[in-house]
A and B are shown apart, each in its own frame.
Chain A
């Protein structure tokens, strides 16, 4: 009595003490409603609760969505759910099976499907014959039932969602499917394996009316089935459920006797160690459902269907972007082509310009050359006369010698003088020819230090005969010790000759009072200055203005290039040419050239 009291007290105490702990919550999938679930599973939960001393257990009936939320929010400690749902939750939340239900039908896997047809349908021999037929199942989410049959049909090459004439889901009770097949409203039906046998046992159907398509046999499994077999429902713990609690639950379930009222209510024989659920994963992967839903094309289509406006917007944006990109690309191509064309043009233009410049230089050389030829041409008779002087003298000396020798009157000393004179005149002639040839030779300009007085003397020599024959005196007033200029000697000679010739032309027909004066010197800036002054007619206002224009001339036979070329030559030497009136009448043409900076010690 005391002991019993004490035990009761302790029990009370402990239960009171443990009552502070909430009861273990067991989530149960109520696929046919809470009432059905309570009827089937309440005893089992109670049995478990008896094994959590002072704590007890509480059943929480959940539909699929509720089960998902409960696991995610950890409002339950253990879950009892169907094979398919378990695999889904295992993959997504890490729940772990701790025991698998052991049905009375098999000691091994017991979940499969039977695909039934009317027994008299001779046209339906195997699963492939279901193509284009009507198929009825109970629920698309039922694992034992539609989902397993679905996998089998796919293996047979029949996609129930695509290849069938119609796929219908009847919902519970399960006999609807059997009746529909029997009555011919569906060509075939999907039932969980053993349902057909159960219905027959209950006397609700006549098994002779039905035939199971693709029926196969499995050891230890009595029911007709068309598919592989998969493990039954598991009891699973959440990731955060204490190990001790899980262990207690497993120990309790394993110890449940087969005839326990809970087992009877649940329609099972007991619980066994958890089975391998990998084949379920494989099936789901091939069906692309459960944790592998993301693999389903259909889900993408669904997603698209749900978010069509976003997709449409995205498509529009994509379209716009594509058009924009194409347009930009096109523009870039066009611009690039334009740029390339412009670049090509530029390169060609540069080449042309270089060619043109080279041509211009060549032409300038030609013009220089022609101008020199032209000057000499205008003075040709004078030059011929100048050359005739030594030649005539040579002839005279030679004939004088001949006559003396023939007459025997020549004294050797005077004959020697004459032949020496002949040689001198031959030198003189050669000198004149060399001067002319040097002047007219076509050549590239050679810039070197030039004594301006040498150039003036050479020019004066070329026009000396002309001046002499016209009776015009030429006065050279050349300063000593001038610095040299960096110039082409022939070109400078050409300039001076041109200016002197212009002076001679200007004085043609005038009374030669003073003649032409050429004066060299230094200007205030240290440049070498040359002045050619004549006492001719002077310049008209128009002539003064256009003096340096090409092809402007006051002479009937002139080309009008002389001064223009002189100016070009001088400017190319960094010099400058201009005209002024000679205070005594006539014209003064002056030019300056920069002096060469020479090191005086060099010269000494």
Chain B
């Protein structure tokens, strides 16, 4: 199952978006020295066309480019729920630009010329962050898959259990017998593979 393959080995690809070919290529060469896979794009638009937004990885982008700017690209990716972590690299840094980038979740805002170690550290960081995000996403998807196995009545009972209500109260609220409620509750615990109410609660929170 492809899903499983992805979960076992999250891709560690670095995407470089810069309109200057030399800068783009040389960044790739530098980052490539870490043994990472690097893909270069000449514009934000080209990158968006080529990549599905749920792919994890590191995006290294310039800010000022013809067409969509780096910051707009960052916004677009965020809106699309991308799992990419972004490192912004620019020759035209100013404070508002940096604030905006960092608020939008950039790992760092690096000004050219930069220290190569700093960049590579940030790339590592970004990949790690992206990996975590990807794992979180994977886990949420798994939880949701478990939850998907519950019947509507079971989901109703599970929600009331997590809310801390005893079986008697639940039975009264949804107009079922105590016995029936107990059966649903057992099924829920069983289907979601949890042993305690505490575990159940944590699992459902993860799916939020």
Identify the A interface with B (CB < 8 A): 381, 385, 388-397, 399-400, 403-404, 407, 409, 418, 421, 424-425, 428, 468-471, 473
Contact = CB atoms under 8 A, between A and B. Distances in A.
Interface in B104-135: 112-114, 116
B112 A388 contact: yes
A471 B113 contact: no
5 A-B pairs closest in CB distance = A396-B26, A403-B33, A469-B64, A393-B22, A393-B26
Interface residues of B, number: 24
B29 A392 contact: no
Contacts of B25: 393, 421
Contacts of A468: 19, 64-66
A409 B35 contact: yes
A416 to B, nearest CB: 12
A400 B26 contact: yes
A465 to B, nearest CB: 9
Nearest to B19: A468
B123 to A, nearest CB: 13
A473 B64 CA distance: 12
B143 to A, nearest CB: 40
Interface in B24-42: 25-27, 29-30, 32-35
B65 A399 contact: no
A473 B67 CA distance: 9
Chain B CB count within 10 A is highest, among A381, A395, A473, for: A395
Query: SS class of chain B's interface: helix, strand, loop or mixed?
Result: loop
Given A388-B113, A389-B20, A392-B26, 15 more contacts: A385-B91, A385-B92, A393-B20, A395-B26, A396-B26, A397-B26, A400-B33, A404-B33, A409-B33, A409-B35, A418-B29, A425-B22, A471-B64, A471-B65, A473-B66
Query: SS class of chain A's interface: helix, strand, loop or mixed?
Result: helix
A432 to B, nearest CB: 12
B100 to A, nearest CB: 16
A392 B113 contact: yes
Chain B CB count within 10 A is highest, among A391, A392, A395, for: A392
Contacts of A418: 29
A396 B30 CA distance: 6
B58 to A, nearest CB: 16
B67 A471 contact: yes
A396 B69 contact: no
B23 interface: yes
19 contacts: A389-B22, A390-B22, A392-B26, A394-B26, A396-B27, A397-B26, A400-B30, A400-B33, A418-B29, A421-B25, A421-B26, A424-B22, A425-B26, A428-B22, A468-B19, A468-B64, A469-B92, A471-B65, A471-B67
Contacts of A385: 91-92
B96 to A, nearest CB: 15
Given A396-B26, A473-B66, A407 B113 contact: no
Contacts of A409: 33, 35
A426 to B, nearest CB: 11
B20 A400 contact: no
B115 to A, nearest CB: 9
Nearest to B89: A392
Interface string B176-194: 0000000000000000000
Contacts of A390: 22
A428 B56 CA distance: 36
Given A388-B91, A388-B112, A471-B65, A397 B29 contact: yes
Given A390-B22, A421-B22, A399 B66 contact: no
Contacts of B27: 396
B194 to A, nearest CB: 46
Given A400-B30, A403-B33, A392 B65 contact: no
Nearest to B67: A471
Contacts of A396: 23, 26-27, 29-30, 116
A598 B116 CA distance: 55
A409 B29 CA distance: 13
Interface in B45-69: 64-67, 69
A399 B64 contact: no
A389 B23 contact: yes
Chain A CB count within 10 A is highest, among B34, B91, B116, for: B91
Chain B CB count within 10 A is highest, among A397, A418, A469, A470, for: A469
A403 B36 CA distance: 13
